[in-house]
Structure 1
Amino acid sequence: MSGLFDLSGKRALVTGSSGGIGAALAAGLAGAGAEVVLNGRDADRLEAARAALAERTGRPVRAAAFDVTDATAVEEAVRDIGPLDILVNNTGVQHREPMLDVPLRQWQRLLDTNLTGAFTVGRAVAAGMVERGAGKIVNICSVQSWLARPGIAGYAATKGGLAMLTKSMCAEWAPHGLCVNGLAPGYVVTELTSALVNDPEFDRWIRARTPAGRWATVDDLVGTLVWLSAPASDFVNGQVIAVDGGLTAVI
């Protein structure tokens, strides 16, 4: 039974993993036995994260500094990393502003990073997976893949698009041995959500809106990611799995 969740001998790239959710996901994969490659744009911050994860797990950890919105850099990095068994498309940005006021450049930034970035990295990695006839891709979606709130139109649009990109990747690549799924976190306590966590009114709303009665932690996401990356989920394909304490299950 333990072999169902064993990632020994597998190489995994986690984009946007210098900190926050990405760093926790990378640590979870390493803990399951994978050789992890971290990614981010800031080379110094990335190296610090790499060293910290290597010390924490006692396992080799690699780092690849590149911008997911730069298609040329993506292709070069994927080629330098070598064959990948697992890809986690985690890189994402947020912008909070009423839709009537959002500058077009911010809308485009969200599209380029959250959606086109996943497409670009996914396609670059999938080419090798298709050739080898195996691979796991996990796109980090969101409860905003299905639910809208005022002030985050661009983010919700990109996450909704990412959910459908996940299904499209499955449709094209599952016949070649790939499993492509999405993991959709609920509201997670991170540095990026600290303003919301510390807003008493919003905090009360989230706790009341979520049947589990609390925010998620980054560690709450790890088990589902390992499952989606491991042999245990080999017949799970094209799905977007909510890890949200029940938030999307209720009105």
Structure 2
Amino acid sequence: MRFKDVFSIIGPDMVGPSSSHTAGAVRIGRAARQLFGSQPNEAKITLYQSFADTYRGHGTDVALAAGLLDWGTQDERIPQALHHAAEQGLIIDYVRAGGGAVGVYHPNTAKLKLQSDSCTMLVTGSSIGGGNIEIVGIDHFDIRFTCLYPTLAIFHVDRMGVLADITREISKFSLNIGHMDVDRTGRSGEALTVIEADGEIEKELIDSINAIEGIRLIRVVDLT
């Protein structure tokens, strides 16, 4: 990823100590919560490489918990996030990945398995520097987006014309597409499309996309 300005390197307005291990971790947790659609009851978080080595010392554990509570990077409650999570009934289990995972993911990577009574979702995200992140996987889909812009995650049937239908609806709202990524389980199987937009994603747009044949689920990630 190419940083857009010096502030992308320094990091966002945040509660420290580290833009990568703390601010980036908050954003990974928050993106995962928004993809899940609500606060989960349980979260099993697997930490890889650098995250696994230093997660308590750099506050990665409390930062991920804060993100799951939908807090921003500047929230002064971040150091007490685990306490607040427990009070709200959110059970978090941290697991350090073994040495066999070296080289598989970016050094600052977390895989979050989120669960509620009726839903389970797996979200993998990496903190790539300066508080910036990249989501690199959702469930069994190999998908990538940065969360720098409002993002649509659209789960749908893989059928001919569905992408054209989606982009047609987006154009009706005069919304420019900055980035799109698509993955599918197989021809005519399940698919996931992520679209980063240059502006606010309105509820009316979500409703219009939901009305398209074959749309299963829509989530909006907006960390702006």
TM-score by length of 1: 0.32
Specify which structure has the higher proportion of helix. Answer: 1
Specify which structure has the higher proportion of strand. Answer: 2
TM-score by length of 2: 0.35
